[in-house]
């Protein structure tokens, strides 16, 4: 297990072994702007603020050029955390898309907190 924290809101979820960042967030009830979910379109690109990721599935260089990767970009639909990571979304904010999944993942959403 590794923790995935998403800035600027600082929301943290747990990623299972081998699970990519996007899947970990979706499984925990969170969503953000994505496209193909298969590493082809770059819509899910974010900045890796800290930690390490790897790409078990090959990603096209045209989608995530080596220089961008070296500069801290990561493709969240393919990047698998190795240890705890912090990412920052680009021009987007994390949204809670399912309070059920968020509750299941052990996160209390603001809506549940306020007893709505």
Partner 1 sequence: MSVMRLGYVHARVTDLADAKQHYGETLGLRAVHEEPGKVYFKGWDEYDHHSVVVEEGGVGLVKLGYKVSELTDLELYEKRAQQFGCITERMSAGDNLEVGDGVRVVLPSSHVVELYHEMTTVGTDVGSHNPEVFPRHLVGVGVPRVDHALLTTSDVATTERFFKDVLDFYPTERVATTLDDDAHVIGTWLTAGNTVHDIAFIEGPDNKLHHFAFELGDWNEIGRAGAIFSMDDVSVDVGPTQHGITRGRTIYFFDPSGNRNEVFAGGYVAFPDRPCVTWTVDQIGKGIFYVSRELNERFTSVLT
**Binding partner at 44 among ligand FES, partner 1, none, C-beta below 5 to 8 Å by kind:** ligand FES
Q: Which residues touch 63 (CB under 8 Å, ≥6 apart)?
A: 39, 40, 41, 42, 75
CB of 73 to partner 1, least distance (A): 16
**Beta strands 80-89 and 2-7, pairing class:** parallel
- Name residues contacting partner 1, limited to 77-116 (CB under 8 A): none
Half-sphere exposure of 97 (CA within 13 A, CB side): 11
Confirm or reject binding of residue 59 to partner 1 (CB under 8 A).
yes
CB 97, CB 103: distance < 8 Å = no
Residue with smaller CB distance to ligand FES, 34 or 99? 34
State phi, psi for 81 to the nearest 5 degrees: -65, 140
**DSSP assignment letter at 60:** -
Q: Does 35 sit near ligand FES (CB under 6 A)?
A: yes
Using CB under 6 A, which of 6, 26, 39, 87 touches ligand FES?
Answer: 39
Interface residues with ligand FES (CB under 6 A) are: 34-37, 39-44, 63, 75, 77
Binding site for partner 1 (CB under 8 A): 33, 35-41, 43, 57-63
């Amino acid at each position: 297990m590794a923790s995935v924290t998403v800035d600027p809101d600082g929301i943290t979820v747990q990623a299972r072994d081998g699970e990519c960042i996007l899947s970990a967030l979706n499984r925990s009830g969170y969503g953000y702007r994505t496209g193909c979910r298969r590493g082809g379109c770059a819509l899910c690109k974010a900045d890796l603020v800290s930690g390490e990721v790897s790409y078990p599935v090959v990603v096209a260089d045209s989608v995530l050029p080596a220089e961008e990767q070296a500069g801290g970009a990561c493709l969240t639909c393919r990047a698998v955390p190795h240890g705890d990571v912090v990412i920052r979304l680009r021009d987007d904010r994390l949204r809670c898309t399912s309070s059920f999944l968020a509750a299941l993942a052990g996160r209390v959403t603001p809506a549940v907190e306020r007893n709505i």
